[in-house]
Amino acid sequence: MPENRQIHLDNRPAGEAQASNFVLVTAQTPALQDGEVLVRHHFLSLDPYMRGRMNDAKSYAQPQALGQTMGGGTVGEVVESRNPRYPVGTKVVGMGGWQEYSVVNADVPGALRAVDTRHVPLSAYLGAVGMPGVTAYYGLVHIIAPKAGDTVVVSAATGAVGSAFAALSKARGCHTVGIAGGAEKCKYAVDELGFDACIDYKEYSDAASLSAAIAAACPNGIDGYFENVGGMVLNAVLPRMNAFGRIAVCGMIAGYNGAPLPLTQPALILMQRLKIEGFIVSEHMEVWPAALAELGALVADGKLRARESIAQSLENAPEAFLGLLKGKNFGKQLVKLV
């Protein structure tokens, strides 16, 4: 069995996460038991939620254990098998973690899923046709529930979730506006992702001026907002919400390092009779089949061309992860392991 390089959580961050929170170790791979397969990971997914799991704090998920391989989504190929349903060569998506190989009991429900790479590239199963894509789908379809002609807005617009949101909302005939960091990201959002407009929040020093720019891009107000960021961006969007608007609270990345995110005008929730709903995509497994079918078709048809930021080799995962938390990624952040 091969040697397996892994990245463990060595110690917990105080404030901003650091490279020194992680340690690279080499482990032996155990021999396979009946039902198990050895998966060689081709790509590791880096996701903002991993920052929350580095804390030992109450949350919807258990904290990442110290001295253990960091958890995370992976796609790869079965290279040894003692499970007839997953022969050698099967391409699979799973939760292999920050390591080069994983041994998986493929009979455990949900542990592995075989994927078809004929029309959709393997890496897309970690992004547009994976957890981030389904996240966009759930918040848009089940919380915002737009009608054709509605105006919908998403923050972190060019990221893994935001880019899928654009394709799904355009398919439903919405006026779709993004908020992203930097002119290059905003140009890409309009030229490549299909946004009708994109606002560079870094051009604005306060919520009032950002809010004025949002108003100009949303002349009919906002019917649905998909929140990925929090803080100034949320304070700028809230005054632009239409009566009976819906806000899907997906993420608050501006606060993941512990910064407070004060809400300056909560009375608007009452005045505009808003519905605000937080959600965790893994708690809505019932929507995954329909979501993955639609997202897979959008990718196969070239209507969702999500960009990827690809770091090379496992030892560069911590740096790429810290960059993701600062917006250095441009599209879905992956680590290529093969």
For binding to ligand NAP (CB under 6 A), which residues are involved?
A: 47-49, 132, 135, 156, 158-162, 180-181, 185, 228-229, 250-251, 253-254, 279-281, 324, 327, 329, 332
Q: Which is nearer to ligand NAP, 96 or 162 (CB)?
A: 162
**What minimum distance in Å lies between the beta carbon of 27 and ligand NAP?**
28
**What minimum distance in Å lies between the beta carbon of 84 and ligand NAP?**
34
Q: Hey, what are 317's tokens?
A: 């995962």
**What minimum distance in Å lies between the beta carbon of 3 and ligand NAP?**
30
Which residue spans within the chain are E strands per DSSP? 3-9, 22-28, 36-45, 74-81, 91-94, 101-105, 112-114, 151-155, 175-180, 197-200, 222-227, 241-249, 275-278, 308-312, 332-336
Q: Which is nearer to ligand NAP, 37 or 230 (CB)?
A: 230
Among candidate residues 146, 184, 182, the one with its CA nearest the CA of residue 166: 146
Q: Which is nearer to ligand NAP, 229 or 238 (CB)?
A: 229
**What minimum distance in Å lies between the beta carbon of 47 and ligand NAP?**
5
Half-sphere exposure of residue 168: CA atoms within 13 angstroms, side-chain side: 34
Q: For residues 8 and 94, give the distance between their C-alpha atoms in angstroms, rounded to a whole number.
A: 18
**What minimum distance in Å lies between the beta carbon of 329 and ligand NAP?**
5
Q: Which is nearer to ligand NAP, 45 or 102 (CB)?
A: 45
Q: Which is nearer to ligand NAP, 162 or 296 (CB)?
A: 162
Instruction: Report whether 126 contacts 93 (CB < 8 A).
Output: yes
Q: Which residues contact 68 (CB under 8 A, 6 or more apart)?
A: 8, 9
Q: Which is nearer to ligand NAP, 38 or 164 (CB)?
A: 164
Q: For residues 334 and 50, give the distance between their C-alpha atoms in angstroms, rounded to a whole number.
A: 13
**What minimum distance in Å lies between the beta carbon of 198 and ligand NAP?**
9
183 SS3 class: helix
Count the residues in the chain.
338
Q: How far apart are the first and last CA of the chain?
A: 17
Q: Which is nearer to ligand NAP, 208 or 280 (CB)?
A: 280
Three-state SS string over 97-148 comes to CCECEEEEECCCCCCEEECCCCCCCHHHHHCCCCHHHHHHHHHHHHHHCCCC
Instruction: Report whether 307 contacts 330 (CB < 8 A).
Output: yes
**What minimum distance in Å lies between the beta carbon of 105 and ligand NAP?**
25
**What minimum distance in Å lies between the beta carbon of 45 and ligand NAP?**
8
